[in-house]
Chain A
Amino acid sequence: MHKEQIKAIIEGLLYVVGEEGITKEQLCAVVDILPLEIDSYIQELKEEYQSDEHGFEIVDYAEVYRFVSKTSIHPYVEKLFKMNKSNSLSSAAIETLAIIAYKEPITRVEIEEIRGVGCDLMLRKLQMRNLIKELGRSDAPGRPILYGVTKEFLDVFKLVSLKELPDLPNYDSLSDSENLFD
């Protein structure tokens, strides 16, 4: 198969799967090429769509490839649909998610220790939204449940993997104290 042909197939598949997206493994199996080969094709496609003449692009949050509209066209989407901003996370929810993402696997008590607030209900809410999941149980007394973040979490925060999380700010030394409360 020609290179252009393979790219066209990948592009077509991405179109069909829509928001469900497709993994690299799936693409390889369907197109019948090796994972090492497919990277360059995807990369080329990605770059092509990145250019300003396109209104949507390819993202790979949570290692799932999908087409999404570009943020730059969003003002026009809002105009078209009169969007109501129903999709939001409270600051308490994001705080809890941040702690879990950086510290997973982590128990409820450990999260509460950092936040200074009971988190039982919050954890259930986040579980319901599929942003966190149970990773088993700790060996500590009472065998408490360990929590971690889901693929959905990665997608929602534009992360390919947890390795992409920005470093936690470091305030351990006095010299940083000035910019602590910017």
Chain B
Amino acid sequence: MTFLVSIDKFAGPLDLMLHLIKEKELDLFDLDMDILINQYIEFLEAMDQFHLEIAGEYLSELAGLLEYKSRALLPNIKEKFVDEEEDPKEKLVRRLIEYQRFKDISSLLNERFDERNKQLSKALSFEFDDIIQDNDLSELKGNPYDLMKAMNRCLRHLALSQPLQTRNTVTEMTVEQVVEIIKANFGQNHKGFSLSELIEKCYDLDEVIISFLAVLELIKIQQLIYHINDAEEIWLKWSNSYA
């Protein structure tokens, strides 16, 4: 049989077992351990073949299952189960059921979490920040996690204080277009201009990069001459070939 589900999809060995039980339509209350154990081993082997890392928890459950299986194969030792506090099969079923209960509740909690995320509040009025700061000055205790929490809070406040952009127009410019723009802006300037002057006119990083590429292009086709002065500033001048 083929396994289409990767081990990453499971929260742990119990989750995997529940999946296998469901897939094989086994009865959890009258569990066929043989089928479950074989399926479990097959699954881990398949994952191993794909070179997927299998967490230690899966192997530790595997050890328990194998112990159960090998004991069951030896009929004369069977009565040993009776002496133990709890039959390993019963224990496993009990754990699977317990786990399933929390899994079911989790999906319910997840719904509530999503709903809550859609309910937004305004931040506390900024006028109160000063008052709150004054009060808090005396007690500067806490662990690193508190500091991280506080920092997260600050970042959140900062993000809130900046007007959010509701529209974001991305315009992609080609080097050729930028060459034209540079010529239009600095073409008349026969004394030359510095690279930082050009960069200052850019709105964002993309534009800086493309402007720099345009300058390199102009130097390559020998329309621009560059010079680096003592202050390590790059000066650009139109060459004589450019009219």
Contacts and interface: CB of A to CB of B under 8 A. Distances in A.
Interface of A: 16-21, 59, 61, 66-71, 74, 77, 80-82, 85, 87, 89, 91-92, 94-95, 97-99, 102, 113-118, 127-128, 130, 155-159, 166, 168-172, 174, 177, 180-181
Contacts of A70: 119
B27 interface: yes
B123 A18 contact: yes
B29 A18 contact: no
Nearest to A167: B105
B119 A94 contact: no
A166 B101 CA distance: 12
A116 B110 contact: no
A33 to B, nearest CB: 23
Interface stretch (B10-18, B78-86, B197-205, B230-238): B10-18
A171 B13 CA distance: 20
Interface residues of B, number: 48
A67 to B, nearest CB: 6
A165 to B, nearest CB: 8
Interface of B: 11-15, 18, 21-22, 27-29, 55-57, 61, 95, 97-106, 108-110, 112-113, 115-125, 145, 148-149, 164, 166, 168
Interface centre among B21, B27, B104, B168, by most chain A C-beta atoms within 10 angstroms, is B104
A95 B103 contact: yes
Contacts of B104: 169
Given A91-B11, A116-B99, A19 B124 contact: yes
B57 A117 contact: yes
A174 B11 contact: no
Nearest to A128: B145
Nearest to A127: B145
Contacts of B164: 81
B12 A98 contact: no
A50 to B, nearest CB: 13
A116 B61 contact: yes
Nearest to B166: A80
Closest 8 CB pairs of A and B: A19-B121, A117-B12, A68-B119, A74-B118, A116-B14, A18-B122, A71-B118, A94-B106
B130 to A, nearest CB: 15
Contact of A166 (B61, B97, B105, B118): B105
A71 B118 CA distance: 5
A66 B120 CA distance: 10
Contact of B28 (A89, A91, A180): A180
A100 B149 CA distance: 21
Contacts of A71: 115, 118-119
B109 A117 contact: no
A18 B166 contact: no
A116 B102 contact: no
Contact of A19 (B21, B110, B123): B123
Contacts of A177: 27-29
Contact of B11 (A16, A66, A115, A159): A115
30 contacts: A17-B124, A18-B121, A18-B124, A18-B125, A19-B122, A19-B124, A67-B122, A68-B121, A69-B120, A69-B121, A71-B118, A74-B119, A74-B120, A80-B166, A82-B166, A89-B110, A94-B109, A94-B110, A98-B102, A98-B106, A98-B109, A99-B102, A115-B11, A116-B12, A116-B95, A117-B11, A130-B149, A159-B112, A169-B105, A180-B28
Given A92-B11, A98-B106, A20 B57 contact: no
A32 B41 CA distance: 68
Contacts of A97: 109
Contacts of A99: 102
Nearest to B16: A116
Contacts of B102: 95, 98-99, 102, 114-115, 168
Contact of B119 (A16, A59, A82, A170): A59
Contacts of B166: 80-82
